[in-house]
Amino acid sequence: MTFNLFEAAYFAEIMRAGIQSIPRGQVGAAQALGMTYLQVMGYIVLPQAFRNMLPVLLTQTIVLFQDTSLVYVLSITDFLGAASKVAQRDGRLVEMYLFAALVYFLMSFAASLLVRRLQRRIAIIR
């Protein structure tokens, strides 16, 4: 439960920072055009903020994926826990832990490459 609140706080902070990264002048201009608060947020602020926060959100998702191995400490079966059970059953601890580490590395590396590619694609040249 505490772990979920911890990660939720990170995601909330990323979203707050993304929304605050939009210049106040754009909000003022939209209000000068007669837009309501929901219209300003829906049409002006959130699309730009989402573009700013998407790479960071995806990076935090990769961190969350990597942290899933920590549930093994709580004796909850996950991928690492299953690998440990198979390793103990077959007596091949090194091979199974190396396999689990390789899977975590490959998935994290592939996801980080995708995030880097997306970041370059949506980058705003200033």
Give the tens place of pLDDT for each residue, 58-71.
999 998 888 877 66
Number of domain units in the chain: 1
Residue 34 zone, left/alpha/beta (φ > 0; ψ -120 to 50; rest): left
pLDDT at 4 over 70: yes
Q: Which amino acid is at 41?
A: M
Which residue range forms the structural domain that includes residue 96?
A: 2-122
Q: How far apart are CA 2 and CA 19, in angstroms?
A: 26
What is the average pLDDT across 81-110? 87
We report the CATH number of the domain holding residue 75 as: 1.10.3720.10
| Reported pTM | 0.76
